[in-house]
Chain A
Amino acid sequence: MSKPAAASGRVWRRFLHHRIACVGGIVVALLLSAALFAPVLAPRDPTFLDTSVRFLAPFADSRFLLGTDELGRDTLSRLLHGGRVSLTVGLVAMATTVLTGAVIGITAGYLGSLTDTLLMRFVDTMLCFPQVFLLLVVAAFVPPTLLSISLVIGLTSWMEVSRIVRAEILNLKEQDFVAAARALGASRARIMFRELLPNAAAPILVAATLKVASAVLMESYISYLGYGVQPPLASWGNMLTNAQGYFNTVPWLAVLPGVAITATVMGFNFLGDGLRDALDPRLRMGP
């Protein structure tokens, strides 16, 4: 089921009119390409130690554009490689969140009755725990690898997505095309994933974008508390933890990764907000 051309053109126009969303889109594109090409862009090996050049300030030495840390590692290279790690965790966690949330939301919404009640009570229960508490307990149990951290973040944040998807499915399943598919003898799984899922794509896309933002934030929280990405692998979160030890004397070490995290989270938040405005059918009906 693809949208008519006029509708998708309208979505584009709405999105481009949304200046903040465009800024977000550009920031996200820049960050993703920086992460993708980090090995090419980074001037040095991010783990290379050189104790003769410790704590160089940004722009003080032409060889080290953004200065060096307590072990003489190049901050710019570490930021680029750290971004690769943080964004990977963010994207994999988002995929886990969206996949889990969508499957549970569709199952609950389409099957209804007891399945719906049980699944949604489970969602309610999970939402009673503060996410950072849940995240830290589980993160402390599993050995911290990039994959395990992403999965833990993803599996503790899918609940809102499943609610959004369920609400969408409840609206969609009463429509004619579902009845038509059923009349044609389509199986339950086919109706759920081939008919209903594509039609719920818009709210899922918005939720996915916003989830990357929160996953990057969560990675930085657990890395900062020591349960996330482990050194020597750099992530923005653990760069901040490192920097905290020299905070009184060299504050810029803490400023830079924080700015990187904020810019990333902001980029995805702006993008998601703009997408919501562009895709929300209720707003589309307005003037």
Chain B
Amino acid sequence: MIKFLLRRLLQAVPLLIGVSIIGFGLMHLAPGGPLAVYTLNPTIQAQDIERIKVLFGLDQPVHVQYAKWSSGIFTGNWGYTFFGGRPVLGVILERVPATMLLMGSALSVAIVVGLAIGVLGATRRYSVFDILATSGALVALSFPTFWFGLMAIYVFALELRWLPSGGMWELGEEGSILSLLRHLILPTLVLALVITATWSRYARSAFLEALQQDFMRTARAKGLSLRVRLLRHAFPNAAKPLIALLGVELPFLFSGALVTETIFAWPGMGRLFVDALTMKEYPILMGMMMFTAIFVIVGNLLADIAIAAIDPRLRLS
């Protein structure tokens, strides 16, 4: 197991290097370079820009800048924002809890509902429920998230007035759990829709495959009940592709969260990214790209380890 862990960790290293090169390269390909935003500001003179260049180390050769920046990524020095000069990592970490809360609750809803739909569909293949669920999932996958969000706001916030239309707390109620939960419902459902659809499709095919195995027939011949057969025999086998899906889906989850946060004024990382984009805050954009990519790499690593923990064949080979 330790050997497997080490090998898997080593495989993540080239990915991290690749991610940092692409992230760094993108920002330096930006038209006018990372300081282009200052040239639009009439109060900043050419010599000021030169001074800022030296201050940020932008006058040095590209590989020196890259070496400095990438070593900073590991030591926690992610650079400073153009406006306000705050540490980038701090600015990002401030927004992490809100996004994790939203992604976590949407993912939990999606896993529970998606698994239930998938298992029911697999055990009753080609039933009315199965056909409705599979085509329904394809319809759900076709909804533009932001439009679905707007429609949800219109129906539940503007017309029915059941739920707030955006934000995290009511004014003056900051910190109240009840208020937070009320604000969480709509964005969670909107973000969960597409993930639920994906999960139900994958769960259905994973269970279909597990149900067709010989050991399932043996279990049935032994006279085990359907519940025991599903939970003890089919589930551990179907779980592997689903855990892998968890890792693979992370980037989509971030993308979905970005859009959802924009519609619902949810103060998370997605909003930070969109705001940084309008202000051309390259250090924040670069930091966000790195943060999400590292998160995805670590997520996939954990998923692989979990799969190996379930399946002894993978550990040993």
- Of A69-77, A123-131, A182-190, the stretch lying at the interface with chain B is A123-131
Tell me whether B135 and A265 are in contact (CB under 8 A): no
With a cutoff of 8 Å between Cβ atoms, the chain B residues found around residue A273 in the complex are 138
Bound together, the chains give a CA A137 to CA B30 distance in angstroms of: 9
Residues of B108-144 contacting chain A, CB below 8 A = 135, 138-139, 141-144
Tell me whether A128 and B144 are in contact (CB under 8 A): no
Bound together, the chains give a CA A112 to CA B142 distance in angstroms of: 36
Residues of A207-249 contacting chain B, CB below 8 A = 213, 217, 220-221, 224-225, 227, 240, 244, 247-248
Asked whether any CB of chain A lies closer than 8 Å to the CB of B4, the reply is no
Asked whether any CB of chain B lies closer than 8 Å to the CB of A255, the reply is yes
Majority-rule SS of A interface residues = helix
Number of A-B contacts (CB under 8 A): 119
Known: A124-B15, A266-B139. A221 touches B26 (CB 8 A): no
- 23 A-B residue pairs with Cβ-Cβ distance under 8 Å, sorted by A, are A127-B251, A128-B18, A128-B251, A128-B293, A128-B297, A129-B289, A129-B292, A129-B293, A130-B255, A133-B289, A136-B273, A137-B26, A137-B277, A221-B144, A225-B262, A227-B277, A244-B150, A248-B158, A254-B147, A261-B147, A265-B142, A266-B142, A269-B142
Name the interface size band of chain A. Answer: 35 or more
Known: A122-B18, A125-B18. A133 touches B255 (CB 8 A): yes
Which of B154, B280, B285 contacts A251 (CB under 8 A)? B154
Closest to B254 in A: A130
Known: A121-B15, A269-B142. A137 touches B274 (CB 8 A): no
Bound together, the chains give a CA A258 to CA B146 distance in angstroms of: 9
Asked whether any CB of chain A lies closer than 8 Å to the CB of B31, the reply is yes
Which of A255, A257, A266 contacts B138 (CB under 8 A)? A266
Asked whether any CB of chain A lies closer than 8 Å to the CB of B156, the reply is no
Bound together, the chains give a CA A43 to CA B215 distance in angstroms of: 64
Asked whether any CB of chain A lies closer than 8 Å to the CB of B206, the reply is no
Interface centre among B19, B147, B252, B288 (most CB of A within 10 A): B147
Known: A20-B138, A130-B251, A255-B151. A137 touches B289 (CB 8 A): yes
Closest to A251 in B: B154
Bound together, the chains give a CA A142 to CA B30 distance in angstroms of: 8
Nearest chain A CB to B175's CB is how many angstroms away?
29
With a cutoff of 8 Å between Cβ atoms, the chain B residues found around residue A221 in the complex are 144-146, 259
Asked whether any CB of chain A lies closer than 8 Å to the CB of B29, the reply is yes
Bound together, the chains give a CA A273 to CA B205 distance in angstroms of: 14
| A-B contact sample (9 more), CB < 8 A, given A221-B144, A257-B147 | A125-B22, A128-B19, A130-B252, A130-B292, A133-B273, A141-B31, A217-B144, A221-B145, A266-B139
Nearest chain A CB to B132's CB is how many angstroms away?
11
Asked whether any CB of chain B lies closer than 8 Å to the CB of A262, the reply is yes
Nearest chain B CB to A137's CB is how many angstroms away?
6
Majority-rule SS of B interface residues = helix
Nearest chain A CB to B298's CB is how many angstroms away?
10
Tell me whether A125 and B15 are in contact (CB under 8 A): yes
With a cutoff of 8 Å between Cβ atoms, the chain B residues found around residue A136 in the complex are 273-274, 277
Bound together, the chains give a CA A273 to CA B131 distance in angstroms of: 14
Asked whether any CB of chain B lies closer than 8 Å to the CB of A140, the reply is yes
Tell me whether A129 and B19 are in contact (CB under 8 A): yes
With a cutoff of 8 Å between Cβ atoms, the chain A residues found around residue B289 in the complex are 129, 133-134, 137
Closest to B282 in A: A137
Known: A254-B147, A258-B144, A258-B150. A20 touches B135 (CB 8 A): yes
With a cutoff of 8 Å between Cβ atoms, the chain A residues found around residue B252 in the complex are 130-131
With a cutoff of 8 Å between Cβ atoms, the chain A residues found around residue B29 in the complex are 141
Bound together, the chains give a CA A221 to CA B148 distance in angstroms of: 12
Bound together, the chains give a CA A213 to CA B297 distance in angstroms of: 27
Bound together, the chains give a CA A217 to CA B141 distance in angstroms of: 10
Bound together, the chains give a CA A214 to CA B181 distance in angstroms of: 32
Bound together, the chains give a CA A87 to CA B255 distance in angstroms of: 22
